[in-house]
Copies of this chain bind each other. A is one copy, B any other.
Amino acid sequence: MNTYGHAFRITIFGTSHGPGVGCVIDGCPANVPISLEAVQLEVERRKPSAGIGTPRAEEDLVQIQSGVHEGKSTGAPIQIFIPNRDTDSSKYAKFRQTPRPGHADYPALMKYGEGHDLRGGGQFSGRMTAPLAAAGGVAKSLLAEEGVRVAAYARSIGQVVDQEERALEDLGSVYEHPTRAATQELDGRMQREILAAKEDGDSVGGVVRCLADGLPVGVGEPFFDTLDGELAKFMFAIPAVKGVDFGSGFAAARKLGSENNDPYRIEAGRVRTSTNHAGGVLGGMSNGMPLDLRVAFKPTASIAKPQGTVDLGTGKEAILKIEGRHDPCIVPRAVVVVEAAVALVLVDLMMRGGYIARQC
């Protein structure tokens, strides 16, 4: 279903090849300063960069159609609409017969039957992340009022891995880099990794790391609606995500307890931990340390190389050649989407826990 959240909810709609995509944000407190420019900026950051992305020009002009009046939220639902440009849907017709490996085509056709609108990937299109980015802009505006910051970057693309344990302060120039790497040097290497795959008619994946600080202690609603669980759930809604971990994450499985536990200490009068192997989450609640998660993206499923598939009409195996140009790597565009996802989850859980009031 297309709604996420309890106290602060987002509902997305639209498809890649219709009039547009958008979302409704419900439960936003009144009086939050929300500027169209700030929301538009988030959507801009999701656009493909010259050279390393798809050349499809997306204008993505954000319209806020309700819920914001004179630069502030009113308490009513905020509706955001992003019109699509004219698109050629003809090339998608054949995927109904011969589903694309790695895409949602086959399960979607089984689930929705004849009615499924496959054009542009239908409701499974990566384009659905544009309204997510826009909604993230609203959530970040609210978080800013609460002193919470969220920032992500490309931790790895293909074989290029950024091994540094960067802090939020180190991420100031991420959006100046087309790959969303933390440094210019890594950006260059990641660009080359992407272009090499592209030349080969292939694609690469990567890992996005996201940090957030300024959270009060106790955000998260265990047993089930945990901070980490809600974040993970949202991350898997982002197309191409295959893994999520927090703090030392999968590496914790190989550590000793005496290595992995984070001892408490007092720092400037506040309770902190010396290390942050927990990634800011204990018992499903924020513990006052920066939130730290990693999200693994698979390589883009649409590649130029011919692939084995089946013909659902004849029941025979077939070879599929996907025409057109596609992002050889989704990671650079996904960075702002991961930030949006984190911001949306944090606002919802902070409102549920009473850490954000009804009026700003």
User: Number of A residues whose C-beta is below 8 Å from B?
Assistant: 154
Q: How far is the CA of A117 from the CA of B279 in the complex (A)?
A: 25
CB-defined interface of A233-257 with B at 8 Å, one 1/0 digit per residue? Answer: 1111101011111111110111111
Which of B115, B239, B255, B358 lies in contact with A354, CB distance below 8 A?
B358
> Is A214 engaged at the interface, CB distance under 8 Å to the other chain?
no
> Is A113 engaged at the interface, CB distance under 8 Å to the other chain?
yes
Question: A-side binding surface: helix, strand, loop or mixed?
Answer: mixed
Q: How far is the CA of A256 from the CA of B360 in the complex (A)?
A: 39
**Copies of this chain, tallied across the complex:** 4
Nearest chain B residue, comparing its CB with the CB of A360: B115
Q: Which of A48-56, A165-173, A174-182, A264-272 is near enough to bind chain B?
A: A264-272
CB <8 Å contact, B354 and A357? yes
Q: In the complex, which residues of chain B have a beta carbon less than 8 angstroms from the beta carbon of A308?
A: 263-265, 274
Q: A75-B111, A264-B101 are in contact. Are A236 and B226 (CB under 8 A)?
A: yes
Which of B116, B207, B247, B258 lies in contact with A303, CB distance below 8 A?
B258
Q: In the complex, which residues of chain B have a beta carbon less than 8 angstroms from the beta carbon of A136?
A: none
| Shortest CB distance A266–B (Å) | 6
Q: In the complex, which residues of chain B have a beta carbon less than 8 angstroms from the beta carbon of A357?
A: 354
> Is A337 engaged at the interface, CB distance under 8 Å to the other chain?
no
> Is A189 engaged at the interface, CB distance under 8 Å to the other chain?
no
Q: In the complex, which residues of chain B have a beta carbon less than 8 angstroms from the beta carbon of A218?
A: 107-108, 110-111, 358
| Shortest CB distance A111–B (Å) | 3
Q: In the complex, which residues of chain B have a beta carbon less than 8 angstroms from the beta carbon of A73?
A: 115
Q: A1-B27, A263-B308 are in contact. Are A287 and B226 (CB under 8 A)?
A: no
A76, A81, A226, A288, most chain B CB atoms within 10 A: A76
> What are 8 residue pairs bridging A and B, where the CB atoms are less than 8 Å apart in the complex?
A3-B11, A74-B116, A204-B256, A226-B237, A236-B284, A252-B296, A263-B307, A265-B310
